[in-house]
Amino acid sequence: MYDVEKRISVDTSDTTVISCIDELHLWSAPFGLSLLETVKFQKNIEILDIGCGLGFPMLEIAQRFGSIVSVTCIDPWKEAVQRLRIKAESYNIKNISIIEGNIEDNDFPKNFFGLIISNNGINNVENLDLSLSECYRIAKPGTQFVSQTHQRLIHC
């Protein structure tokens, strides 16, 4: 029987570990794909990805929208942000800005973003109330907010 209290520990600052987990995991694919199906694509909007991690679905969105939008992504995980910058450069994606940081502590202008997404990211913030308050502050009226989170399933 699997004991949920015994977890495998990895060093998430090790670039070798980062390169190994960089591929899309099967457990996260349905979340990201569902998010992509939900997003209403519009021209000339600013997009924010909260907790972008290694870039899915942010890179997909940046490529789908192309140069008609600007995509900003934010994540506190330094090594993932570094890896994401390498990926964006290698894919020649020019319509993105990658920020190492937290949504709770940002300097985004009020009423700026027309689409805010988070794929298993908003559930990992330090202060959910403050994070959602910041989303409200930086969202334009009518902004679409799409967030996917995973739930832990426990069998007793």
Kindly report the pTM of this predicted structure. Answer: 0.83
Q: What is the largest CA-CA distance in the chain?
A: 52
Over 50: is that where the pLDDT of 153 sits? no
Homologous superfamily in CATH for domain 27-148: Vaccinia Virus protein VP39 (3.40.50.150)
| Domain extents in the chain | 27-148
Over the stretch 22-41, which tens digit does the pLDDT of each residue have? Answer: 665 666 677 778 888 888 88
Name the residue type at position 50. I
Work out the burial of residue 20: count CB atoms within 10 Å of its CB; fewer than 13 is exposed, 13-18 middle, 19 or more buried.
exposed
- Residue tagged 């319509």 (tokens): 95
CB-based contacts of 85, cutoff 8 Å, min separation 6: 98
